[in-house]
Structure 1
Amino acid sequence: MEWALSSVNPLTIALTAGFVLLILSFLKGKKSGNKPPGPKGIPIFGSMFQLGDLPHQTMYHWSKTYGPLLWLNLGQVNTMIVQNASTAAELFKKHDVPFADRKVPDALTAYNFNAGSLGMNTFGGHWRVLRRLCSMEFLVNKRMNETTELRMRLMHDMIRWIEEDSRTSLAQGGTGAVQLSRFLFLMAFNLVGNLMLSRDLLDAKDPEGKEFFDCMNVILELAGTPNIADFFPALKLIDPLGMKRNMTRNMTRTMKISSKFVQERLDNRKAGKFQEKKDFLDVLLEYEGDGKDGPDRMTEHNVNIVIMEMFFAGSETTSISIEWGFTELLRNPHAFKKVREELDRVVGVNRLVEEKDVENMPYLQAVVKETLRLHPALPLLLPRNTMEDTKYMGYLIPKGTQVLVNAWAIGRDPDSWEDPLSFKPERFLKSSIEYKGQHFELIPFGSGRRICVGFPLAHRVVHLTIATLVQAFDWDLGTGVKPEHIDLQERLGLTLRKKNPLKVIPKKRVQV
């Protein structure tokens, strides 16, 4: 989330600040106690306006002054930031449970989304049900292996889309350049569509799929837009920027479409027509819990929320990671060459790379690790919330404190990484470090009880897609453009995207 509020109208801020001044006198003072160090900030607003457009970078630079454990007052929200491997280990090993709740942005409470979501749900019964369904019934190796052919089909679709778009550009007098992020997102979106609903949702013959896609894009934008109500909770009652109202409108449209998918499946099941291969919608519909109303009850509303969430998580973060990885390869031709040579040695040029090939490609694996070290899709992971007053590394952390883990800063910590700002996949070739939550210097998916449940799928898709792009095409950067000209500027919303999407000219290399 862009915490700087730099895109908010100054008049709106001034009017809202006046209202805040009136209500502050009625609010109780914050608990005193021993807190971690941090910048003092300004009255009322604290450090809100010091963070800038890229708060993860500002926090990283502040660690040089205040140390790896940072304390900020953001409006009325106490916030603790964890910024190196040792402070992260302390959190996940010793305090994972008291810090396992979520601090939920107000926009994501629209339509009661957070109450049915896995990622934003309160730590409790319904969260445990969703976690179990995802980790034990769906995103397990057996089910992932059953969908291998699906991912290969989507690789072929992606190659075709890239070729067609480049040809269209040339026919219209252009250079043939394509914006790669578009096709990565479409591929990931259809992958989630098939895993959830056994259908491509982005197809010229499926207008509802296109509408669903458009609504999801709006929801992602709203979720990443700054909202002053998140810093002054009393303002949530009036929603001064209309964020929750806008989110509710778009979620209503999305829910209406997903409800049709769900009803269609229910009607088919009643008629005795079952899926040849069970998808996640089947898993959700078949779950009965104890058969009673309660926190683990899987209502139709909750099913629709889970469907929405899987599209958020699976499409956006996966496609972003692939674009960052491929960008780094194009900026570092020696690394690109090594991946290409590894592909030619393991796969050849007569067939397209497959998932089973990845285990024999250590350099490709190192490229993905290095990408996730430098470019975690969620640089601050998802915000946690302390459920009780907690002693943490000698400090008193009050109940209700927002806890952020700066995975972006941890990946650049010179105490953990030699030459941390450089892209060097070789650092992982003789290293046992993984990103499964046990090595705290590399936690792009988090750790502990609330580690991202989708990382096994992301692991497969990111490796396979980067390898496919390197193998299937030669890539031209355009006239006069050198690798070092490719920028790495960031844009933080809900996730960490490239500020300037990668545009390159593909030339078919492997005929598939």
Structure 2
Amino acid sequence: MLNLGCLVFQAAWQEPALLSLDEHTRYSRVDAELNIVIKRKDYNGIRTSKMDLLSWLSCLLFFLVLVQAFHSITRITRKGRADKLPPGPATIPVFGNLFQLGEKPHTSLATLAKTHGDIMTLKLDLTTTIVFSSATMAKEILQKHDAAFSKRTVPDAFRALQHDEFGMPWMPVSTTWRNLRKISNLHIFASQKLDANQYLRRSKVEELVADVHDSCRVGKAIDIGQAAFKTTLNFLSNTFFPIDLADSSDTAQEFRDIVQGIKEELGKLNFGDYFPIILRNLDLQGMRRRMTVHFGKLMNLFDRVIDKRLQLRKTNDYISTNDFLDTLLNISEDKNEELDRNLIKHLLLDLFTAGTETTSSTFEWVMAELLHTPKVLQEAQRELKQIIGAGNSVEESGIACLPYLQAIVKETLRLHPPVPLLLPQKTEVDYEIHNFILPKGAQLLVNTWAVSRDPNFWEEPDLFLPERFIGSEMDVRGRDFGLIPFGGGRRICPGLPLALKMLHLMLGRLLHSFDWELEDGVTPESLNMEDKYGLVLHKAQPLKAIAISL
């Protein structure tokens, strides 16, 4: 029955396959009612009218209602366990609670949780979704029952080039996953590795400061997010293979365009994720197709870099750079390790896209909050002047002596967690928590945005108050479940240590070297602080600021 429904829906959007194409009878007409231009081809005088299309859509809607009803009856009769689901808002046929998500699901879900509780059931098409919106509930999922909920629900866009099978964030916990985590933790994010690469971070931040000086001399406003993106990308590319990907070359522009394209796709609502049985294979919105193009371009870029390195490694006078690429190639040649070229490319894809986007977005939010709250900016600069001293450079070794600067970063991550809804998890069996049943196959969402603004946990949760962390031992490393911007448990973001080092160093250098003000006409009170939902939470309006040398 489901296959028949797919064929019916596909037929509504495809031209008849048995009719020949007449190139001279193409035409365009404007449908005034729908305000769209419909381009169709005339096949031997047969034209598909709007009424035909509506008939097909009506059939599809009827089919969806039947499937929904069948699914609901099946769920209700499964051992009576539907009565033990967590509470949730009323649903409408077929679409469930889909229309209640809006353009900002993280805020919509937080609002619904105020009525229905910190463990809440939603119906998004045929999928039961359980949303957790408090520190207590987050701890249940990410720590107490971590092993049971380690499997992911994969958005359809990430199935491009089978990234759901080879990408570390999405693949199930397995030998391959453990191997990739071990490689990342030992060869990139281990303390000794990060310390060894300290000179690279310093060098790239120096370049950022030089760029800001250039803009400062001519009074040009700086796009803060783009500046942070360039710095982070250059650091990562020099860590993995000594290349500046964010210079003025065509490769750099290509990379920025690809990442921008990926970011745009992930900010869209994909109906294939909500009606997977019926719509996923059709990819009607073209998101998986476009992601395949973006991912393919990145893979081609990585292939070129890997091929060049392999050729160099064959030469007699080659001296290893001991960068991450050499490490991966050495591991791949060791038959005792499960790592091939395909896994290397998918790992690089994750490290580059996640590393650049989360860090640059968070840095933009930090600067926005400081310019939005000038007294906090002044206090941070006072601390830097007092502890570091005028004319001295901020180094990573000195960050530990700057508690207010650290508090600013924590408070920004609290208010603007990079991934507002942590990557979705999934139940593999019926599971009981707090006398509720989480049914097999349910999608689990931890709303870390709601968790970090929970008024039962935080005083004045919507205010930017770094002082709340002064003297507090609360941290963002996944142990304090009221503050989990990087997640927690076995699937916590592995890049957390590097992200914190980059954020503190960039912030310290730019605040100690420059004073900052908004563009003409923009005041702290009028600064747009709206966010834009996506897998990574961005500012709706890019932040531009003018630097003034101190």
Give the structure-1-normalised TM-score: 0.91
Query: What displacement does 1:257 show?
Result: 1.3
Aligned residues: 491
1:349-360 equivalences in 2 (<5 Å):
349-360=390-401
Matched residue of 1:359: which SS? helix
Tell me whether 19-28 or 34-43 shows the greater mean CA deviation.
19-28
Query: What displacement does 1:275 show?
Result: 5.9
For residues 236 and 348 of structure 1, the distance between their equivalents in structure 2, rounded to whole angstroms, comes to 58
Query: What displacement does 1:276 show?
Result: 5.2
For residues 340 and 17 of structure 1, the distance between their equivalents in structure 2, rounded to whole angstroms, comes to 63
Deviation track 1:361-385 (CA, whole Å, cap 9, x = no partner) reads 0111111111111110101111111
- Answer with 1 or 2: which has the greater Rg: 2
Query: What displacement does 1:23 show?
Result: 5.3
Which of 48, 51, 66 matches 2:116?
Answer: 66
Query: What displacement does 1:151 show?
Result: 0.8
Question: 1:188 aligned to 2:232?
Answer: yes
Deviation track 1:394-437 (CA, whole Å, cap 9, x = no partner) reads 11111221111111111111111111111111111121111111
Question: 1:228 aligned to 2:271?
Answer: yes
For residues 230 and 332 of structure 2, the distance between their equivalents in structure 1, rounded to whole angstroms, comes to 33
Against the structure 1 CA distance between its residues 246 and 21, is the aligned structure 2 distance closer, same or farther, given a 3 Å change threshold? farther
Which structure has the higher relative contact order (CA within 8 Å, separation 6+)? 1
Matched residue of 1:485: which SS? coil
Question: 1:119 aligned to 2:119?
Answer: no
Against the structure 1 CA distance between its residues 102 and 209, is the aligned structure 2 distance closer, same or farther, given a 3 Å change threshold? same
For residues 57 and 485 of structure 2, the distance between their equivalents in structure 1, rounded to whole angstroms, comes to 36
For residues 278 and 233 of structure 1, the distance between their equivalents in structure 2, rounded to whole angstroms, comes to 44
Which of 274, 279, 284 matches 2:323?
Answer: 279
- Aligned position for 1:6: none
Tell me whether 356-365 or 388-397 shows the greater mean CA deviation.
388-397
Query: What displacement does 1:207 show?
Result: 2.4
- Aligned position for 2:242: 198
Question: 1:100 aligned to 2:160?
Answer: no
Deviation track 1:225-283 (CA, whole Å, cap 9, x = no partner) reads 22100001121111111111111122222211110111111222222565654222222
Contact 1:289/1:297, CA 8 A, preserved across alignment: no
Contact 2:478/2:487, CA 8 A, preserved across alignment: yes
Matched residue of 1:404: which SS? strand
Matched residue of 2:474: which SS? coil
- Aligned position for 1:210: 253
Query: What displacement does 1:448 show?
Result: 0.4
Query: What displacement does 1:26 show?
Result: 5.4
Contact 1:41/1:50, CA 8 A, preserved across alignment: no
**Letter of the 2:454 counterpart:** D
Question: 1:347 aligned to 2:391?
Answer: no
- Aligned position for 1:405: 446
Tell me whether 334-343 or 345-354 shows the greater mean CA deviation.
345-354
Amino-acid identity (%) = 35
Against the structure 1 CA distance between its residues 10 and 272, is the aligned structure 2 distance closer, same or farther, given a 3 Å change threshold? farther
Contact 2:420/2:535, CA 8 A, preserved across alignment: no
**Letter of the 1:227 counterpart:** N
For residues 381 and 374 of structure 2, the distance between their equivalents in structure 1, rounded to whole angstroms, comes to 10
Which of 49, 59, 77 matches 2:127?
Answer: 77
For residues 61 and 156 of structure 2, the distance between their equivalents in structure 1, rounded to whole angstroms, comes to 17
Query: What displacement does 1:21 show?
Result: 3.8
- Aligned position for 1:130: 180
Question: 1:144 aligned to 2:194?
Answer: yes
For residues 481 and 35 of structure 2, the distance between their equivalents in structure 1, rounded to whole angstroms, comes to 40
Give the structure-2-normalised TM-score: 0.85
Matched residue of 2:234: which SS? helix
Deviation track 1:260-308 (CA, whole Å, cap 9, x = no partner) reads 111111222222565654222222222249837xxx7322121111111
1:277-316 equivalences in 2 (<5 Å):
277-288=321-332, 291=335, 297-316=338-357
For residues 448 and 199 of structure 1, the distance between their equivalents in structure 2, rounded to whole angstroms, comes to 34
Deviation track 1:148-175 (CA, whole Å, cap 9, x = no partner) reads 11111111111222333455xx5xxxx6
Against the structure 1 CA distance between its residues 230 and 333, is the aligned structure 2 distance closer, same or farther, given a 3 Å change threshold? same
Against the structure 1 CA distance between its residues 43 and 289, is the aligned structure 2 distance closer, same or farther, given a 3 Å change threshold? farther
Matched residue of 2:121: which SS? strand
For residues 209 and 499 of structure 1, the distance between their equivalents in structure 2, rounded to whole angstroms, comes to 24
Deviation track 1:29-85 (CA, whole Å, cap 9, x = no partner) reads 252321111111211011111111111111111121111111111112211111001
- Aligned position for 2:221: 177
Contact 2:328/2:344, CA 8 A, preserved across alignment: yes
Contact 2:371/2:517, CA 8 A, preserved across alignment: no
- Unmatched runs of 5 consecutive residues or more in structure 1: 1-8
- Aligned position for 2:539: 498
Against the structure 1 CA distance between its residues 305 and 24, is the aligned structure 2 distance closer, same or farther, given a 3 Å change threshold? farther
Question: 1:261 aligned to 2:294?
Answer: no
1:418-429 equivalences in 2 (<5 Å):
418-429=459-470
Contact 2:143/2:488, CA 8 A, preserved across alignment: no
**Letter of the 2:502 counterpart:** V
Contact 2:160/2:288, CA 8 A, preserved across alignment: yes
Against the structure 1 CA distance between its residues 379 and 26, is the aligned structure 2 distance closer, same or farther, given a 3 Å change threshold? closer
- Aligned position for 1:50: 100
- Aligned position for 1:438: 479
Contact 2:361/2:538, CA 8 A, preserved across alignment: yes
Matched residue of 1:287: which SS? helix
- Unmatched runs of 5 consecutive residues or more in structure 2: 1-33, 39-52, 77-81
- Aligned position for 1:471: 512
Against the structure 1 CA distance between its residues 40 and 478, is the aligned structure 2 distance closer, same or farther, given a 3 Å change threshold? same
**Letter of the 1:405 counterpart:** V
For residues 240 and 349 of structure 1, the distance between their equivalents in structure 2, rounded to whole angstroms, comes to 58
For residues 61 and 397 of structure 2, the distance between their equivalents in structure 1, rounded to whole angstroms, comes to 58
Query: What displacement does 1:128 show?
Result: 0.9
Contact 1:223/1:494, CA 8 A, preserved across alignment: yes
Against the structure 1 CA distance between its residues 305 and 242, is the aligned structure 2 distance closer, same or farther, given a 3 Å change threshold? same
Question: 1:508 aligned to 2:549?
Answer: yes
Contact 1:69/1:80, CA 8 A, preserved across alignment: yes
